[in-house]
Structure formats: structure tokens, C-alpha cells
Amino acid sequence: MQNETMNRMKELISTLNSASKAYYAQDMEIMSNYEYDRLYDELTALEEETGVTLSNSPTQHVGYEAIDELPKERHEKPMLSLGKTKNREELRDWMNGNEALLSWKLDGLTIVLTFFAGKLAKAVTRGNGEIGEVITNNAKVFKNIPLIIPFKGELILRGEAVISYSDFEKINSQIEDADAKYKNPRNLCSGSVRQLNNEVTANRNVMFYAFNLVKADGVDFNNSREKQFSFLKEQGFDVVEYKKVTPDNILEEIEYFEKKIEHYDIPSDGLVLLYEDIAYGLSLGMTAKFPRDSIAFKWADELKETTLKEIEWSASRTGLINPIAVFEPVELEGTTVSRASVHNISIMRGLKLGIGDRITVYKANMIIPQIAANLTGSNSVEIPDKCPVCGQPTEIRQINDVQSLYCVNPSCDAKKLKSFTLFVSRDAMNIDGLSEATLEKFIGKGFIHEYADIFKLSRYEDEITKMEGFGEKSFKNLINSIEEARTTSLYKVIYGLGIAGIGLANAKMICRFYKNNLQAMKEAQIEELSEIEGIGEVLAGAFYEYFKNAENTEQLEHLLNEITVVIENVNEAEQTLTGLTFVITGSLMHYGNRNELKDIIEERGGKVTGSVTSKTTCLINNDVTSNSSKNKKAKELGVRIISEDDFMREYL
């Protein structure tokens, strides 16, 4: 029996450490929080039962080793995890008659800030609790960290770097590639905080909320944690929202947070209870892993039992085929839920899923549907040996201890997703309502095989209006957008075809060179194409090869049967910027945005690029004396830097 128990402990340690490594070091999630907590609690119980704790047990170390991309530094004081409970009464009993502060437990990345002489001197991530990564330059561009504070002594504090749900959704909406989208705000925040280039961090809207004052030389807080929070507020820090509680009102205040989290924009996975009396809390000491002056409260997940109806297999452009559990609808946290991602083959096998099984489901952090447990465990789901999209063979691949299913067909329609995403984008056909995720669903259903099929989606009205996320109104909006896109310009069609290396500007140049004669463009030779300004032999070769492919030309003919191409008459006398190349940077005064000025230049035969080279005619920047990277490059290459007014006076 003892050997069996020890073997189980070793198995749990291996499983939990793999999940911890994926979560903390690789920003991946191979196990749900619910499952991790369940296995962790089982390991803790076995350690108490046996009196044995193995050296590599996750109960004895915190998090995972910091990666090597950033400098490492040892914390002045170890950053321990918190003991936790899901029992509200236990939380009240823990107070032992004392006052405490109840606050959010934010779900981001813990950061330690150090200030000297009133200035931010250092920022270090939590790392493994003893050694973290130095991210000072990145912290300086967080949206709400004060860089200079009134207090001039040494100040050390801890807080959580987070990205709000609304910013997370906004950032994800700008990523066209479905596989490149971030899984949750925490992963996005972790990657943003640990960037080598803090310009990326600055664009991510990272916020910082202080939750612990470690050191403030010479300041008397009268033994009060609340006064420490007030002090931090006076220095300009945003402090995590908290309530001062007693054993008499703590249950009532927990309900306050419970109601608020339904609409709270900042990711939180629970609450923290901290003794108000500093001396009393410190006098309790700590265990090997937990301080005794504070405890975490995690929401008791609302579990609902239901029946697994089917496993959908969703193919993506990378060939990855994800299993999605479809079950009898249940009400969870105020919404109806009927689907949950199972993520990969490893998790599906771990749950021993089978059609008709009774399962329990919950919402991770009260948001993301997950399967908690399988009460039947029939383990009868068959893994498809053929791709649901193309019908070609699949294979199981193991990467970093995780098994996943892949389609091996390089011509699978699902792998054409990127080309369809480009085709419907704003600069191409400009069709609203066809996000990459929606296109992926339509391709998976067999609605779209080639570009022309997009203009025939009205035939699938019944199926589409019944799909999740669609209804009659959204379907009507989509069809209206498709109808508007039927009339377009030739250069947008050429760009939308996704010919290797042919961007929007190049497509315009080619169309102008051939006076919008598509037949002449299809018959063009490499030598002739190479003569066009900005094309060159490589792009000319790609363009030539595209139109020599019979399948490509056939699909283009199908597309042309669905759309009307408006031929733009080019006035040669107005092509005053032919052969000239411009770069635009900085803010503009006379034009609404850079694209507006870019259109003016291209209408007159000019070209606009994103970087300064020796071929650049002028860099347009209203701040001609700035030390921006583009200005520096222009000066190095002897390229003129002109203002917007200079450009209008000299070239228009």
C-alpha cells in the first residue's frame, strides 16, 4: 500500500510540475485550474498522510524557473504563495476575531518595484519566488505606474500587472490569424511584460495594482496595513480594491465582490484576506511555502452535471485539429453553456470521454467553460483518422508531452484560411463580418472552397443563422457587406489574391502599368514585369508563376463571374509623382491620417513604403528635427526630411 501511495505521489508531482512549467514558463495551459487544484489537494493530503515530502514536490517550491531572455535577480525577500480555501466559513474562522483587509486576487503577473530618491529604480517579476526577471524598462511604460513619487527614501512594493478584458478583446480583434490570438488576458499580460522591446509593452495597456508594501524607510504606519495602502495611494499608485472586514461582516463583503466580478473588467481569480494588524500577522511566521498573515479565497466553482452529446473536431490553418465538447445546455454563472474546448488529445484521454457520458462542467474564473470531471469515464471517443475538412489522413503528434491531432494534407481547405482572411480584409475586398474565426467555421462546414464561394453564402442562410454567434440580423449584415463588395477596383482584386510579395502598393503599380488590362497582366512575362518601378525580378517571377497555374486562373474566372470590376481611368498628365518613393511618419495636420496622404501620393503615381532606404525620395515628418529612428536613418542615408507643408508646396 505504501509503495502504491508513493508511486501516486510521484505521478502527481510529475503531472503538476509539467502543468506548472507550461503555465509559468511557456504561457501555455495544458490543464484546467480546477483539475490542477484537485490534484494539488490530493498530493497535499498524501504528504500529510505519509509524512513524506519529496524534494521536487510543487508544495515545496513556487512557480517555475524564469526564462533566460531577461536578466535575473534574486528578491530581497522570498515571494511565497498563499494558502487557499474555497470555504467562506473557513475564511471567517481564519480571522480568529481579528480585523483584516479583503481585496481582489488579480490574475496577471506579480511585479516587485523598487524606488530610490523618489524615482523608479528597478522592476522585477516574481519568477520562481526567489529569482525573477528584471523588466525595469517595460515597467516604465505601464499605463499607471508613477515614475517619480514624493517619498524620497527606499520604497519596495509588490503588485499585479494586468491587462483588462476589454483591452484583451481589442488586441485580439486586431489579430487576423486565429491561431495567433491570445488565449486569455494573463497570457497576453505575461508576454507583454516580458518583452525585450518595451515599445511592444507600451502598446498593450498594461496596468499595475499595488497589493503589498514591503519596505518604506522611516515611515510609521501605526501597525496598520490600511495605512500602508493609503500611503501608496498618496505616492500615486493604484491600489487593489479592498474592504476592511471583521468576522461579523466578512460574508457580506464576499458577496459584494461576488456580484461585482460578473462585470469586473480586470481579471481576478479570487480574493485575498490580510490581517490589518501588521505585528500580529508577522508574529504568526510562515510555513515552507505560505505566509500565515494572509490567505487566498478562490470562488467555489458552480458545477453542473450534463450529458456529452458529441465531440466536434475543429481544423485550423496550421493543421491542428482541436476537440470541442458539445453537451446538453446548462445554466452557468447566469448564461447558457453548451460547448467547451478540450484543448488536445492528452486532456481528452485524461478525461476518458465518451459520447453519452455524464460530465460536470464549470466556468474557469467564472468565464471560460471547462469540463471538470467525467462521472462515467467510458473512454470511447474515437479519434478521427481523416480530417473533417478535407477527408485526408490525420496523425497524432507529441510536442512537449502534449499529444495533439493534425491534418497532414498540405492542400487542406482549412490551411487556406490565411488567404481567405487576406481576401476579405479592408485593403482587399473589404467584407465586414468575416473574421478569421468565422471563416474557419464556414470552411469547416464546407461553405467555402474558393474565393467565388464567399459571394454565394446566401444559399446557406438556414445553416448560418443557426450557428453559434449568428442570427438573422448578423447574417443580413454579412450578406449586405458581401453585396457591397461585388463592385470593386482591379488593384484590390489583385492584392486580395495573395500573390507572394505583391502588396497593395505593388498591385496598384502593376494595374497602372498595364492600364487595368487584366488579360495583358495575365500574359505578362517576367522581363516586362521587372521593368515596373518597385517590382523587381523576384516579385515579377511570383506574379508570372501565379497566372501560369491553371487552378489559379480558373478560380479567378469564377470570381470575376461574381463581381464587377470598375476600371479607373488614369490621367497620365496627373501622374506627377511617378518614380518617386515616400515614407510618412508622425502626426499629420492637413490629412485625416497617413492612409489619406498615401492615397494622394499613389493616385499621382508615387509609392509609399514603411521604412527609409537609399531609394527613398523624401521622409515626410512634421517634426523634422526629432531624433526618431526614421529621422536618424534618413540623415545617415542623405534622404531629405520634409514637413507636410513642404510636401504640398513642392509635389502637389
**pLDDT band, very low/low/confident/very high, at 26 (cuts 50, 70, 90):** low
Average pLDDT for residues 483-496, to the nearest whole number? 93
DSSP 452: G
SS3 content of the chain, % helix, strand, coil (to 5): 35, 25, 40
CA distances from residue 362 to 104, 136, 359, 607 in whole angstroms, order as listed = 21, 38, 10, 54
Whether 118 contacts 148, CB under 8 Å: yes
- pLDDT top residue among 505 and 524: 524
Q: What is the pLDDT of residue 67?
A: 41
Residues designated catalytic: 105
Q: What is the pLDDT of residue 457?
A: 93
- pLDDT top residue among 564 and 630: 564
Distance CA 377, CA 360 (A): 12
Read off the pLDDT of residues 399-453 as tens digits, 9 standing for 90 and up.
Answer: 767 888 998 887 787 778 878 888 998 889 999 889 888 888 888 788 998 999 9
For residue 358, pLDDT over 90 is answered with: yes
Helix or strand or coil: residue 215? strand
Distance CA 213, CA 155 (A): 8
Q: 87: Cβ–Cβ under 8 A, 6 or more apart, which residues? A: 300
Gyration radius of the chain's alpha carbons: 30
Q: What is the pLDDT of residue 436?
A: 82
Q: What is the pLDDT of residue 66?
A: 42
Residue among 350, 382, 322 at smallest CA distance from 19: 350
Residue among 241, 239, 235 at smallest CA distance from 115: 235
Type and span of the H or E element at 173 = helix 165-173
Whether 43 contacts 63, CB under 8 Å: no
Q: What is the pLDDT of residue 64?
A: 44
Helix or strand or coil: residue 155? strand
User: Do the strands 294-297 and 320-332 form a parallel or antiparallel pair, or are they unpaired?
Assistant: unpaired
Residue among 231, 324, 274 at smallest CA distance from 103: 274
Residue among 83, 99, 73 at smallest CA distance from 156: 73
Average pLDDT for residues 541-546, to the nearest whole number? 90
CA distances from residue 105 to 131, 272, 517 in whole angstroms, order as listed = 22, 6, 63
Distance CA 470, CA 457 (A): 13
The region that residue 495 occupies, defined by phi over 0 for left and psi between -120 and 50 for alpha, beta otherwise, is alpha
User: Do the strands 581-584 and 607-609 form a parallel or antiparallel pair, or are they unpaired?
Assistant: parallel
Q: What is the pLDDT of residue 544?
A: 92
Average pLDDT for residues 202-228, to the nearest whole number? 92
- In the chain, the percentage of residues whose pLDDT exceeds 70 is 92
Residue among 214, 69, 74 at smallest CA distance from 138: 69
Q: Is the dihedral of CA 188, 194, 197, 199 positive or negative?
A: positive
User: Do the strands 207-216 and 242-245 form a parallel or antiparallel pair, or are they unpaired?
Assistant: unpaired
Amino acid identity of 87?
Answer: N
- pLDDT top residue among 538 and 76: 538
Residue among 157, 160, 294 at smallest CA distance from 234: 157
Output the DSSP codes for 111-144. EEEEEETTEEEEEEE-TTSSEEEB-HHHHTTSTT
Average pLDDT for residues 602-610, to the nearest whole number? 80
For residue 299, pLDDT over 80 is answered with: no
What is the arrangement of strands in the sheet containing 640-642, beginning at the earlier edge strand? 607-609, 581-584, 618-620, 640-642
Average pLDDT over the chain reads: 85
177-181, 385-389, 516-520: the lowest-pLDDT one? 177-181
Q: 63: Cβ–Cβ under 8 A, 6 or more apart, which residues? A: 20, 24, 81, 126, 127, 128, 129
Q: What is the pLDDT of residue 336?
A: 84
For residue 581, pLDDT over 50 is answered with: yes
Read off the pLDDT of residues 84-119 as tens digits, 9 standing for 90 and up.
Answer: 787 888 888 999 899 999 999 998 999 999 999 888
Distance CA 485, CA 617 (A): 35
Q: What is the pLDDT of residue 86?
A: 79
pTM score, whole prediction:
0.52
